[in-house]
Structure formats: C-alpha cells, structure tokens
C-alpha cells in the first residue's frame, strides 16, 4: 500500500530488490543512481560492511511520472541476501508495493536462488501477502559470465507459479536491462494501483496511510 500525501500531491511506492547474496542487487541500484539526473533522484544510501556486502539495505529515492496530478515517487531498497539476516529482510519488506527478484545465473548459485525465492514467499506470507498479489518481475542477472544456466532452466526454477511474470536477462555491471526491469515493475505496480485504488487519488482526505 503506497503512502499518499494529499497536501503535497505525492504518492510514494516502495520497490524491493530481493535475491541471494551477491546476485547483483546493489549493482542494480548503483547503476540506476548513476544514470538518473540528480533532480530526479536522491542520494544512494548504502549500509555496507567493510567487505562491501549489504548489511541492512541500500536505499535510493526516485521521482517520476505524474499520476492523476500526483507526483509519483519510488523508493528502491535492497535486502541483505545472506541467510542469517532474515529479520532485516522482513523489516525491509514491510509494506512493499513491488518486488524485483534478482537471480544469479551462475550454475553453482541455483540452490541459493531457489532458497532465496522461497524465503521471499515465506516473508511475504508473514505479512499476509503473496506473490500472487504483489507486483513483481524476475531479473536473470550475470548473463555475461561463462558458466551460466540456460534461461529456460532459470524460468523453470523461478517462474513456475500459476502467473508467469515478465523476466529480463541482465548484466547489472554494465546496465544491460537494468532499466527495463525497473520500468516493468513500475508499470505492473501502477496498473495494479490504478485498477484497485486509483479512486483514492480523487478523494481528498480519503485513504492513505
């Protein structure tokens, strides 16, 4: 559920990048940050350990299109991928409006990908959400590397729910399909919002959080 500020005519959505440790979540945000004019984004806040691994989350605020006279803002977050940080992941996933699941295409990461995807489903369940209802897309990352699984195998592992979602083959380090992924999740999320809650924007003082 996005935050609607009627006075400022702003609506704010939260998008969370999920996936196993080192799959490329932070790299997505770093690339997006580097390609958006400062006027349309805030600073990238990264809380990393000395070893450059995300400890809590990365955070990047973006402002974008106008929706029914409201300025839409997107807050991009990553979650720490390491298995032990589940409490942090649950916290970052609270009130999520859209998810990008980043898969690491390397063969030896398949188990971690599947485990991370299951963990996402479980964490959403804990806040009574389901991937059936949350807008999300799949990003098959690191396609530049040698030892990668074929995309149809990744689809079979990670995109076999009733509703198949859009997926993108990416190279986050050079930006290949980083924006296609972000555009797709925002499109799905805005469609859902318009369909289910668009009327909230027309009623000053109604709804919001």
| Structure token pair of residue 99 | 């998810």
Indicate whether 98 belongs to the interface with ligand GDP (CB under 6 A). no
Partner from Mg ion, ligand GDP, none contacting 46, C-beta within 5 to 8 A by type:
none
Contact 169, 140 (CB under 8 A): yes
d(CA 46, CA 155): 30
Contact 151, 140 (CB under 8 A): yes
Smallest distance, Å, CB 169 to ligand GDP? 10
Exactly one of 81, 124, 131, 136 binds ligand GDP (CB under 6 A); which one?
Answer: 81
Indicate whether 46 belongs to the interface with Mg ion (CB under 5 A). no
Residue with tokens 């490329």: 24
d(CA 22, CA 37): 27
Indicate whether 54 belongs to the interface with Mg ion (CB under 5 A). yes
Q: Is 49 exposed, middle or buried (0-12, 13-18, 19+ CB in 10 A)?
A: exposed
Exactly one of 78, 113, 167, 177 binds ligand GDP (CB under 6 A); which one?
Answer: 78
Grouping H, G, I as helix, E, B as strand and the rest as coil, residue 116 is helix
By C-beta, is 26 or 141 nearer to Mg ion? 26
Question: Binding pattern to Mg ion, positions 3-42, x when CB under 5 A?
Answer: ----------------------xx----------------
Give me the residue whose beta carbon is nearest to Mg ion: 54
Number of residues assigned to the chain: 209
Indicate whether 27 belongs to the interface with ligand GDP (CB under 6 A). yes
- For residue 7, give every residue at least 6 positions away whose Cβ sits within 8 Å of its Cβ, in sequence order, or none: none
Indicate whether 25 belongs to the interface with ligand GDP (CB under 6 A). yes
Indicate whether 119 belongs to the interface with Mg ion (CB under 5 A). no
The residues of the shown chain that bind Mg ion, judged by CB under 5 A, are 25-26, 54
């Amino acid at each position: 559920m996005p935050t609607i500020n009627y006075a400022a005519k702003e609506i704010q959505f939260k998008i969370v990048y999920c996936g196993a440790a080192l799959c490329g979540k932070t790299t997505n945000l770093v690339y997006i940050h580097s390609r958006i004019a400062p006027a349309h984004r805030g600073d990238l806040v990264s809380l990393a350990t000395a070893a450059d691994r995300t400890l809590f989350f990365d955070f990047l605020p973006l402002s974008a299109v106008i929706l029914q006279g409201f300025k839409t803002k997107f807050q991009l977050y990553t979650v720490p991928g390491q298995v032990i940080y589940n409490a942090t992941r649950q916290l970052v996933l609270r009130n999520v409006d859209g998810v990008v699941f980043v898969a690491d295409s390397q063969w030896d990461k398949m188990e971690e990908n599947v485990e991370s995807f299951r963990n996402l489903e479980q964490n959403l369940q804990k806040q009574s959400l389901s991937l059936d209802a949350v807008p999300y897309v799949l990003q098959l990352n690191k396609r530049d590397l040698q030892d990668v699984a074929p995309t149809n195998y990744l689809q079979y592992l990670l995109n076999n729910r009733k509703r198949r979602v859009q997926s993108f083959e990416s190279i986050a380090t050079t930006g290949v399909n980083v924006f296609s992924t972000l555009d797709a999740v925002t499109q799905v999320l805005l469609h859902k919002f318009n369909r289910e809650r668009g009327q909230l924007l027309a009623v000053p003082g109604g709804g919001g959080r």
